[in-house]
Structure 1
Amino acid sequence: MPEGDAATNISGNKELRGLSGTALVVGASVTAAFGGLLFGYDTGVVAAALPYITDAFDLGETLKQIVTAALLAGAVVGVIVGGSLSDRLGRKKTLTGVTVLYAVATLGSAVAAGTVSLITSRIFLGIAIGISSLVVPTYIAEIAPPKNRGTLVSLHQFMVTVGILFAYLVGYGLSGSASWRWMIAVGIAPAVLMFVGLFALPESPRWLVSRRREREARAVLARARPAEDVDAEITDIVEAVRAEGRITYRELLGTRFRRWISVGVVAAGASQVVGVNAIIYYVPTILEEQGFGKTAAIGVSVAVGIVNVVFTIPALLWIDRFGRRPWILGGTVVIILSLIAVGIVFQFPIQGAAVVWLIVALMVYESAFACSLGIAIWLVNSEIFPNNVRGKAASFGIVTHWGMNLVVSVSVLTLITAMGASAVFWLYAFLGLLCLIYLYRWLPETKNRSLEEIEADLTGEVSVSRAPEGSPPVS
C-alpha cells in the first residue's frame, strides 16, 4: 500500500478525517486537556462541599483530612500504574478508560451513604485523576509542534484552574441549600463531554512509532504538520526510540537519567510544598474557623479561583516566547514573598483591615502560582524525558506531585492547630526557597526545541553550545 494512502486506509483512524494542521493539533489538545478540568473540579469541589459533608457525617478534624486526602492517595496509585498502562495501551485508550472510571467514581461519591463509602469512591476517583494527570500532558507534548508545545501543554493547567473555579462557583451557588451531593455530581458532565470528544482524537505519533506502527504515525503527522516537516520528524522519532530501546525503572534511576528525573521531581514537589492545596482545599474551612460564614468563606475561594484562571492565561500565551525559566523562577520568588505576608497577617485577628490584607496576599500568591509552579510540573515532566520512556519517567514527578499533595492535605489542619497558621505558611515559604535554589541551578530551558533535541542535550549526546541562552549547563 502506498505510504500516501495511509491516512485513508488505516483501520480505526476515522478521527483523522476532517481536521488537519493547527486545527487538528489544537482540537486534540483541548479535548485531552478536559482531563485537567476533571482534575480541577474534583480537587476544588471538596473545598466548597467539605463544610457541609462535615455537618452531614459529623466529621472531626482527622476525618476531614482523610476524606480530602482519599482522592490524593488514589491519585498516587493512578500515577504509578498510569505510566506503564499508557505505554502499553496508548494514550487515547487510556484516557477513554479514565473518563469512564471518573464518571462512575464521581457518582459513587455523590450518593455515598456514609464516610466509608465516600472515602472509597474518592480513592477510585483519585486513581482516575492520577492517570489523567500523567497521560494528558504527555499526550499533548507528543502531538504538539515544538513552537507551540509550551502553550498547548499548559492548556492542561489552564483547564485545571477552570475546573477549580467551576467547582467554587457551583459550590457557591448551592451553598444556600447545602446540597453537597449535587456539588459533587455536577462533575459527571465534563467526564461525559471528554468521553465523547476522545473518539475524535488521533493517537500520539510518538507512541505509534514506539509500537512499530510507523505508517500510522506518519498518517497522523501528515495531517498535523506541514508536508515538508513530516519526514524529518518521523526520522527524529524513529532514531530516538531505537536509541533508547526498553528501559526499566531501575535503569531510569541510573546515572544517565538521575539528574533529569530529579529536576522533574523537584519541579513537581515545589508545586505542592508551597502549600497551594492547603489554600485550594481548606481556605473555606480555615476562614470559617476564623469567624467567616460558610457562604462568605466559599466566596473568598471563588475570588481565588478567578485569579487562578486569569493569571494562567499570560503564561499560556507567552511561555513559548519568553521561555520556561523566567516564568517558573520569577513566579516562585513572588510565591515565597506572598506566603511570608500571609503568615504575618495571621499574627493578627482576622477582622477589619486584616481581612483585606489576607485576601490581597492570597490573590497575589495564587496569581504567581498560576503562571509559574502551576504549569511547571506538567510542562517540565512532559518535555525532558526520552520518547518511549516518557510515560514511566514522568511518573516520578507526577507521583511526587500527588504524594506531596497528600502529605500537605493530611497535615495542614493538624499543623495549624499545633503550630499556628503563621508558622505553617512560613514553613511553606522556607520549603519553596529550597526548591527555588535547586531549580535555579538545574532547570533547563526548553522553548522552541524538539523533544529529540532536548533528549540529546540532557543525555550529553550533543555539545552544550546547542542549549538555549539562559539554560544551565549540561554535564
Structure 2
Amino acid sequence: MPVSDSIAASQIQVNRGFLWRVSFIAGLGGILYGYDMGIIAAALIFVRQSFGLSTQMQEMVVSIVLVGAMLGAIIGGSIADRIGRRSTLLWGGGLFIFGSVLAPLSPNVLTLIVARAILGLAIGFTSVTAPVYVSELAPPQSRGGLISLYQFALTLGIALADLVGYWLAGEQAWRLMFGIGAVPAALFLLLVLTLPESPRWLFAQNRATEAQVVLTTYTNEAGSRLLLDDIHTALEAKIDRRWSALWSPAARGALFIAVGFTVLQQVTGINTIIYYGPQIFALAGITSNKNAIFATLIVAVTNMLATVIALFLVDRIGRKPLLYIGVSGMTVSLFMLAIAFHQVAFGSSLGMIATVCLVVYIACFAFSMGPIAWILVSEVFPLQIRGRGVAAATLGSGASNFLVSLTFLSLIKAAGNVFTFVIYGGFCIVTLLFVRFIVPETKGRELESISAKPSVAVN
C-alpha cells in the first residue's frame, strides 16, 4: 500500500455500525439478484412440463433475464451517475416487485419471458449500483469486506431460491416459487428509503455541504476532511462523463481490467451450475427431480458459506492471493468432473463424485472470483464515470453469462459432458494468467489512488 494511503487510512475513524447497516441494506439487492437467478433451477423443471417447452425455449426462459440485466446495466449506469446511487436502487426495487408479481400470474410462456426480462432490468440496476454505493462510503481498510457482503447476499439469495424450490417441488408450485420473491423486494424498497446518498456522488454534483453532512454521520472530522480533499483532487482531473470517456487513456486500463475479469468470471461456467444444477445432476445419474434439486441446494449453501471466507480475508491477505488459490481449485475440480464423466466405470458412484466436484468448484469460486470481481470493478474507475464503468463491466458479465446459459444444454448435446467441462476448465487457466499479469492488488488503497493508476499489476 502506498505510504500516503497508509497515513490517510490511519486518520479515518468510522462508525462501523452505520457502514454495516448501509452495506446490509444494499446487500438485500444481492439477495434479490441471487433469488431471481437461482429460482429458475427448480422452477424450470415444472415450467417445462406446464408449457411443453423445447430445449431452445428452456434456454430462452433462463437467459432472457440476462438480456434484461444487460439493458439494466446500461441504463442503470447512466442513471446512477446522473440522479444518484440511492435513487437508482429505488428504481431497481420497484422493478423487482413488478417482475415478481407478474411472473407467477403468467398465463403463457411469453408473459413469463417478459416478467423474467423485467427482473433482469432490476438486476442490472442494482448490480451496477450497490457495489459502487458501498465502495464510495467504505474506508479503504474495510472496503473489500463490505463490498463482499453484496456477493454474500447474492449467494444467500441463491441458497434461499434452492431451498424454496426443494420445499415446493412436491407440489410442483413453480408460480409460488417466483411469487415469493416479491417479499424481499418490498423490504428492500422500504429500507433503501432510509439510506443517505453517496457523499462522493454529492460532491461530484457540487453539493459539498450535503456530502459533508453524510460524511459526519459515520466518520470523524479528520477523516471527513481527508476524504473530501481526495475527492476534490480526483474531480480536478477533467474526465469526459460520456460513455466514450471509457476509451480515454484515463479509463482504458480500468475498462480492460473490469470487463476482462467479469467476462472470465462467467465463462468459467459458474452459472451453468446455478441455472442448470438439477440437469447436471440428472446427467450424473440422479434421476429424482427432488433429489437433484436437493443436490443443487447443497451446492448453493456451500456457495454461501464459502463467501464468508472472503469477508474475513480479502482485506487481510489481499485480492490476488485469494484469486490464485480459488481459481486453481476451480480448475482442478472441473477437470476432475470431466474425467468422472469420461470414466463410465464409475456407474452409480458418478452422482456422488459429481456432487463433490461441484461443491469444491463452487466453494473455490465463492471466496475468490465471486466477490472479488465486484470489488475490483467498483474500485478501478475514476469517480466521474464510475457508474458507467461498472455498467460496462456488468454488461460484459451479462453478455458472457447470456452466451454461456443460452448454449449450455446445446453444447452438452453437441460436444458431450466431458468436452463441455474441459472448455470451462480451460477458461480457468486463462483466468489465472489474467490475474497474474493484468489484475492489480487494491487492498488498502484509496479509491482515488487506484483509479489514478489501475493497470499496474502488483504481484
* Coarse TM-score class (shorter-chain normalised): over 0.9
Shift of 1:258: 1.7
Quote the residue 1:14 is aligned against: none
Contact in 1 for aligned 2:133/2:198 (Cα 8 Å): yes
Shift of 1:186: 0.7
* Distance in 2 separating the partners of 1:67 and 1:152: 33
Quote the residue 1:447 is aligned against: 443
1:399-437 C-alpha deviation (Å, 9 max, x unpaired): 111111100110000000000011001001112211221
Quote the residue 2:87 is aligned against: 93
1:303 equivalenced with 2:298 (yes/no)? yes
* Distance in 2 separating the partners of 1:215 and 1:178: 55
Quote the residue 2:335 is aligned against: 340
Which runs of structure 2 are paired with 1:310-349 in the superposition (5 Å)?
Answer: 310-349=305-344
Contact in 2 for aligned 1:134/1:398 (Cα 8 Å): yes
Contact in 1 for aligned 2:262/2:396 (Cα 8 Å): yes
Contact in 2 for aligned 1:377/1:398 (Cα 8 Å): no
* Distance in 1 separating the partners of 2:106 and 2:314: 42
Look up the equivalent residue of 1:433 and give its one-letter code.
I
Quote the residue 1:362 is aligned against: 358
Which runs of structure 2 are paired with 1:244-259 in the superposition (5 Å)?
Answer: 244-259=238-253
Q: Which runs of 5+ in 1 are unaligned?
A: 1-19, 465-469
Quote the residue 2:151 is aligned against: 157
1:199-235 C-alpha deviation (Å, 9 max, x unpaired): 1111000100111100011111111112221111111
In the superposition, relative to structure 1, how do residues 351 and 183 fare at CA in structure 2: closer, same or farther (>3 Å)?
farther
Contact in 1 for aligned 2:286/2:351 (Cα 8 Å): no
Quote the residue 2:64 is aligned against: 70
Shift of 1:291: 4.8
Quote the residue 2:454 is aligned against: 458
Stretch moving more, 27-36 or 450-459: 450-459
Which runs of structure 2 are paired with 1:101-112 in the superposition (5 Å)?
Answer: 101-112=95-106
Contact in 2 for aligned 1:266/1:435 (Cα 8 Å): no
Which runs of structure 2 are paired with 1:171-210 in the superposition (5 Å)?
Answer: 171-210=165-204
* Distance in 2 separating the partners of 1:203 and 1:360: 44
* Distance in 2 separating the partners of 1:320 and 1:115: 45
Instruction: Say which SS state the counterpart of residue 225 (structure 1) adopts.
Output: coil
* Distance in 1 separating the partners of 2:175 and 2:309: 35
Contact in 1 for aligned 2:91/2:125 (Cα 8 Å): no
* Distance in 1 separating the partners of 2:112 and 2:57: 11
* Distance in 2 separating the partners of 1:171 and 1:387: 41
Which runs of structure 2 are paired with 1:281-292 in the superposition (5 Å)?
Answer: 281-289=275-283, 290-292=285-287
* Distance in 2 separating the partners of 1:422 and 1:258: 38
* Distance in 1 separating the partners of 2:377 and 2:181: 27
TM-score (norm 1): 0.91
In the superposition, relative to structure 1, how do residues 285 and 167 fare at CA in structure 2: closer, same or farther (>3 Å)?
same
Shift of 1:268: 0.3
Shift of 1:300: 0.4
Shift of 1:456: 2.6
* Distance in 2 separating the partners of 1:255 and 1:246: 11
Instruction: Say which SS state the counterpart of residue 315 (structure 2) adopts.
Output: helix
Q: 1:24 aligns with which of 9, 18, 23?
A: 18
When the two structures are aligned, how many residues end up with a matched partner? 444
1:292-340 C-alpha deviation (Å, 9 max, x unpaired): 2100000001100110011000111111011111112221111111111
1:471 equivalenced with 2:458 (yes/no)? yes
* Distance in 2 separating the partners of 1:400 and 1:245: 23
1:227 equivalenced with 2:214 (yes/no)? no
Quote the residue 1:404 is aligned against: 400
TM-score (norm 2): 0.94
Contact in 1 for aligned 2:286/2:292 (Cα 8 Å): no
* Distance in 2 separating the partners of 1:386 and 1:258: 11
* Distance in 1 separating the partners of 2:132 and 2:409: 34
Shift of 1:358: 1.0
Quote the residue 1:265 is aligned against: 259
* Distance in 2 separating the partners of 1:327 and 1:435: 13
Contact in 2 for aligned 1:109/1:121 (Cα 8 Å): yes
Which runs of structure 2 are paired with 1:139-150 in the superposition (5 Å)?
Answer: 139-150=133-144
* Distance in 1 separating the partners of 2:331 and 2:238: 39
* Distance in 2 separating the partners of 1:61 and 1:180: 18
Shift of 1:246: 3.2
Look up the equivalent residue of 1:399 and give its one-letter code.
L
Look up the equivalent residue of 2:136 and give its one-letter code.
E
Look up the equivalent residue of 2:301 and give its one-letter code.
I
Overall identity of the aligned pairs, in %: 34
